[in-house]
Chains A and B, each alone.
Chain A
Amino acid sequence: MPHILTPTDAVTLRQEGTRVLVLKGGCLLADMPYEAALDVGRALIAQARKAEELAKVQQIIGDQAIILRAGFPVGLTNHPDIQAEAAKEAAWNTRLRRYMPGGVRSQEAVGTPTLIQHPPRSTPPPQPSPRWGEECTGGGNLGKDVR
């Protein structure tokens, strides 16, 4: 049976009738019916997504932490370790609020006080000082006979 020589060792896929062939460097690696090829394809995507999750773990933790802080019940990952790390970030990373529009909503309530403005205090007009020789009326009984 003649072999087809290919210039590289790249993996290539071919369809022959109802079968799918996997070749590497012109050598047949796998020959499977289309049903099996579909299963392998789905399995490859699933494994690739798991690998991508680990490759982008820091970004997922950050995004999941923001979602947790916002109280939005959506999970970006099923990986328990990543979820635990995101929960820790949500709880302790005080810089997260910078990435949230409007900051973290609080249940605080501040009352509405009332300001009551009073008129200025009236001060008594200054009394003219008594002239020399005038009887001092504000001095009480000093110098007077009180008997």
Chain B
Amino acid sequence: MSNALYDLGREAFLGGDLDWDAQTIKLYLIDAADYTKDLAAHDMADDVATAAKVATSGALASKTKTAGVADAADVTLSAVSGDPSEQLIIWQDSGTQSSSRLIANIDTATGLPVTPNGGDIVVAWSNATEKIFKL
């Protein structure tokens, strides 16, 4: 498996339904035991079972989109407890799960899988050319 964008998320970017730096973008820490990713079919946050969402971040800050490369400030998941987690999902929070679009699924990261211990988990984005992701 590898890190990838959801097909329908890419489609939403091209259709003008997703706006990286104007909309609220958040992060889920996901327990893969409760979620089987389907990059071609899953589009909204309600495609991810509630039980799979171990932690939810606040809104990503300092977002940039220069040259089609999405970047943001590192994000902290506060006082995380729950099941061992194997994935991260970047999603757009519309306020309603059924209209909150899934953007990217990350299952390959330094520090994954992680077993929450009640402490904070800081997600430090890559400083390589693709940053968080590149369209």
Query: Could you list which residues of chain A lie within 8 angstroms of chain B, going by C-beta atoms?
Result: 94, 97, 103-104, 106, 108-121
Stretch at the interface among B17-25, B43-51, B92-100, B126-134: B126-134
Are B5 and A106 interface neighbours, CB within 8 A? yes
Are A111 and B119 interface neighbours, CB within 8 A? no
Expressed in whole angstroms, the Cα–Cα distance for A111 and B126 within the complex equals 6
For residue B12, give the distance in angstroms from its CB to the closest CB of chain A: 12
CB-nearest residue of chain B to A110:
B3
Are A110 and B40 interface neighbours, CB within 8 A? no
> Which 10 pairs show the lowest CB-CB distances between chains A and B?
A115-B111, A111-B126, A110-B3, A120-B118, A109-B130, A118-B119, A114-B110, A110-B133, A116-B122, A120-B119
Q: Could you pull out 20 A-B pairs where Cβ atoms are within 8 angstroms?
A: A94-B11, A103-B40, A106-B10, A108-B5, A108-B134, A108-B135, A110-B104, A111-B3, A111-B125, A112-B128, A114-B126, A115-B109, A115-B112, A116-B111, A116-B124, A117-B117, A118-B120, A118-B122, A119-B117, A120-B118
Expressed in whole angstroms, the Cα–Cα distance for A106 and B112 within the complex equals 25
Are A113 and B134 interface neighbours, CB within 8 A? no
User: Which among A94, A103, A115, A119 is the interface contact of B123 at CB below 8 angstroms?
Assistant: A115
Expressed in whole angstroms, the Cα–Cα distance for A94 and B12 within the complex equals 13
B54 at the A interface (CB under 8 A): no
Are B119 and A97 interface neighbours, CB within 8 A? no
Given contacts A111-B126, A117-B120, 13 further A-B contacts (CB under 8 A): A103-B39, A106-B10, A108-B5, A109-B130, A112-B128, A114-B110, A114-B126, A115-B111, A115-B112, A115-B123, A116-B122, A119-B117, A121-B120
Segment 37-85 of B: residues with Cβ below 8 Å from A: 39-40, 79
Interface residue SS majority, chain A: loop
Expressed in whole angstroms, the Cα–Cα distance for A40 and B129 within the complex equals 64
Expressed in whole angstroms, the Cα–Cα distance for A74 and B84 within the complex equals 49
How many residues on chain B are close to A (CB under 8 Å)?
A: 38
Q: A103 to chain B: which residues have CB within 8 Å?
A: 7, 39-40
Q: A110 to chain B: which residues have CB within 8 Å?
A: 2-5, 104, 106, 130, 132-134
Contact A121 to B122, CB < 8 A, known contacts A103-B40, A108-B134, A110-B106: no
Q: B108 to chain A: which residues have CB within 8 Å?
A: 112
For residue B14, give the distance in angstroms from its CB to the closest CB of chain A: 11
CB-nearest residue of chain A to B40:
A103
B88 at the A interface (CB under 8 A): yes
User: Which among A104, A117, A121 is the interface contact of B114 at CB below 8 angstroms?
Assistant: A117
B121 at the A interface (CB under 8 A): yes
